[in-house]
Amino acid sequence: MADTRLRDKLATKDFFVVPGIHDMITAVIADRVGFDVVYGTGYWLTASAYGMPDAGLVSYTQMLDRHATILKTSKAALIADADTGFGGLLNVQHTVRGYEAAGVSAIQIEDQEFPKKCGHTPGRKVIPVEDMVEKIKVAAEAREDMLIIARTDARQAEGMDAVLRRLEAYSKAGADILFPEAMESEEEMRLACSTFDKPVMANMANGGSTPILKGDVLKDIGYAFAIYPSLSSLIAASAIETAFVKLRDQGDGEPVDMPMFNFKEFCGLIGFQEVWDFEKKWAR
């Protein structure tokens, strides 16, 4: 049966926050904290798994594998980044069916030209609105219960008026959730949310073009929910660098001034208890 938790949360119209998942350690920590919806971020899954930039270099098969692994590891419902649908209309159909078969609750498709780029980096170009409308229509016809998120990257290339025109067209084509990427001010964010009756999502990308606002402010603006794709990755990268510098310079493998997760607890999170129970049952 389809996972309805994301639909149910949207139906309440109560604002909620969604952490970005960049690897399976992040996935089990999100479970431990209690998030019931998570976001499979294209940028950070690409960086963590393949050490490459989010520039259209990772294939449908590679990204589907990352999302499917999140779903096997995590107990949460998954919103999954699908870039441009990985090609033309037939590719979009294939992508939607593959993501839904894996258990994804909502698929995010954007209107960039291929090869696409991270939504908070320069040089992005968008396809004609008519082409994206066709992608949304194909996605809507291909899915069974999965929600469709239509993202536009038109703000920097075409301006705010184009963002609104595009999102209106995508909404009419069958998108369930609207995603105006890289808004540059609170005023633009309010305009995007007030224009549409459908849920609008915010991208709180640390270091990006959009102001990072607290949840209560985003709720007041009118967003249905916000994703935080870079939070875990950038904090983890900073902590790792600090620890490695201490290791290099001081030979310190257990710095007392840095928080460290308990190893035995982490073994439990990652599934070792089941291994130990199996070995106890079947030991000879």
Q: What is the pLDDT of residues 190-226, one digit of tens each?
A: 999 999 999 999 999 999 899 999 999 999 999 999 9
Q: What pLDDT, on the 0 to 100 scale, is given for residue 124?
A: 80
DSSP bridge partners of 40: 21, 80
32 pLDDT higher than 80: yes
Quickly state the pLDDT bin for 1 (edges 50, 70, 90): low
What pLDDT does 121 receive? 65
Residue 179 has a CB neighbour count (10 Å cut-off) of 23
| pTM, two decimal places | 0.94
Average confidence (pLDDT) over 175-190: 96
Residues facing residue 108 across a β-bridge: 81, 149
Q: Taking residues 16-45, report their average pLDDT.
A: 96
Closest by CA position to 180, among listed 197, 156, 201:
201
Mean pLDDT in residue range 13-29? 97
Q: For the ranges 112-116, 169-173, 242-246, which has the lowest average pLDDT?
A: 112-116
With beta carbons less than 8 A apart as the criterion, state whether 142 and 93 touch: yes
Q: Of 61 and 57, which is predicted with more confidence?
A: 61
